[in-house]
Amino acid sequence: MLKLIVANWKMNPATPREARELYLKTKQAALKQRSARVIICPPAIFIGCLNHKTSSRLSLGVQDISVHRNTGAFTGAISAAQASYSEAEYAIIGHSERRAAGDEEKIINTKVKLALAAKLNVILCVGEKSRDGEGGYLQELHEQLTSALAGVPNNFYKKLVIAYEPVWAVGKGASGADTPAEFLHHKLFIQKVLSKTVGAAAAKAVPVLYGGSVDHKNAESFLNEGQAGGLLVGRASLRADHFKQIIYAAR
C-alpha cells in the first residue's frame, strides 16, 4: 500500500507566489517517489493558484470544511461540496487546532459525514491531550473515534484515513515526537476500535498515519519501525528540502 505523506501548511505561506514555489518543489519530489502518495493541504484560498493536475502521486486537500451542508449566510466558511468542486480530494477533519477552536465531537461527526457525502477522502485526526501512565487516555481516543464515525456507513471506510496525533506532540509548543514503538501500539489500538464496527480486514485496510513533530530525521523510523501508513507533517512540510527527505523516507 502507498504511504500517505500529508503536508498541512496551516496558514502558510504568506503569498500565492511562495505557495506555488513550495508546491512545485514538493511536486518534483512526489513524482519521483513511487511508494508514496503526497497530499498537500494548503490554505484553501491558494488551491486555485497552484495549477494542480491530479495524479496518483500528488493530491490536494483542505484543512477543514464547514459544518453546514448547503450554501448560505456562513461568512468565511467553505462547504465540503465547494472543496470537492475545487481540486481537493481530501479533507482534514478534527485537527487539534480546530478542536481547540471549538470543534466538538458532534461537529466533527457532521463534518466527516458531509465530506464523505461530497466524495472527499477524510483524514480524521485523533489524539490525546496528555498521557497518563495507566492508559486512561485510551478512553479519550476511543471516544474520539467512535463519536466521529457514528453513523458512517461501512462502505465509506475505504475513503477514511486516521491520523494519530497526540496533541502534546503537535506544533511549535510540542514537547517532542512520540516514539515509533508507542505509535505502533496506538495504531493497533485504533484498528481494534474500528474493527468492532467494520470487522478486522476492513479496519486493517484503513491507513493510520502518525503526526506530531515529524521531521526529516525521525520520518523513516515512524514508517518502518512504527509501521505507519504515512505521516501528517506540519512545520517540516514548509521546508521543501526537509519535506523532500520525508517523502523519500517512504521508499
Cell numbers for 88: 481537493
The C-alpha atoms of residue 229 and residue 123 are separated, in whole angstroms, by 12
211 contributes a contact to ligand PEP by CB under 6 A: yes
To ligand PEP, the closest distance from the beta carbon of 237 in angstroms equals 7
Helix (H, G, I), strand (E, B), or coil: what is residue 97? helix
Closest to ligand PEP by CB, 55 or 241: 241
The C-alpha atoms of residue 20 and residue 176 are separated, in whole angstroms, by 30
Annotation marks residue 140 as catalytic: no
Tell me whether residue 90 is exposed, middle or buried, using C-beta atoms within 10 angstroms of its C-beta: 0 to 12, 13 to 18, 19 or more: buried
Choosing from 128, 165, 186, 242, the catalytic residue is 165
Residue, CB closest to ligand PEP: 234
According to CB under 6 A, which one of 212, 226, 229, 230 is a site residue for ligand PEP?
212
78 contributes a contact to ligand PEP by CB under 6 A: no
The CA distances from residue 207 to 187, 213, 241, in Å, are 9, 19, 26
Q: Is there a contact between 39 and 6 (Cβ–Cβ < 8 Å)? A: yes
According to CB under 6 A, which one of 47, 152, 234, 250 is a site residue for ligand PEP?
234
According to CB under 6 A, which one of 160, 214, 228, 246 is a site residue for ligand PEP?
214
Region near ligand PEP per CB under 6 A, out of 46-54, 133-141, 197-205, 211-219: 211-219
The C-alpha atoms of residue 38 and residue 2 are separated, in whole angstroms, by 10
The CA distances from residue 177 to 63, 86, 161, 233, in Å, are 21, 33, 20, 11
Q: Is there a contact between 96 and 138 (Cβ–Cβ < 8 Å)? A: no
Site for ligand PEP in 130-169 (CB under 6 A): 165
Helix (H, G, I), strand (E, B), or coil: what is residue 115? helix
According to CB under 6 A, which one of 118, 233, 249, 250 is a site residue for ligand PEP?
233
To ligand PEP, the closest distance from the beta carbon of 113 in angstroms equals 22
Annotation marks residue 97 as catalytic: no
Closest to ligand PEP by CB, 84 or 213: 213
To ligand PEP, the closest distance from the beta carbon of 177 in angstroms equals 8
226 contributes a contact to ligand PEP by CB under 6 A: no
Region near ligand PEP per CB under 6 A, out of 26-34, 111-119, 148-156, 207-215: 207-215
Look at residues 226, 148, 138, 225 and name the one whose alpha carbon lies nearest to residue 189.
138
Catalytic residue numbers, as ranges? 95, 165
- The residues that touch ligand PEP, with contacts defined as CB under 6 A, are 8, 95, 165, 170-171, 174, 211-214, 232-236
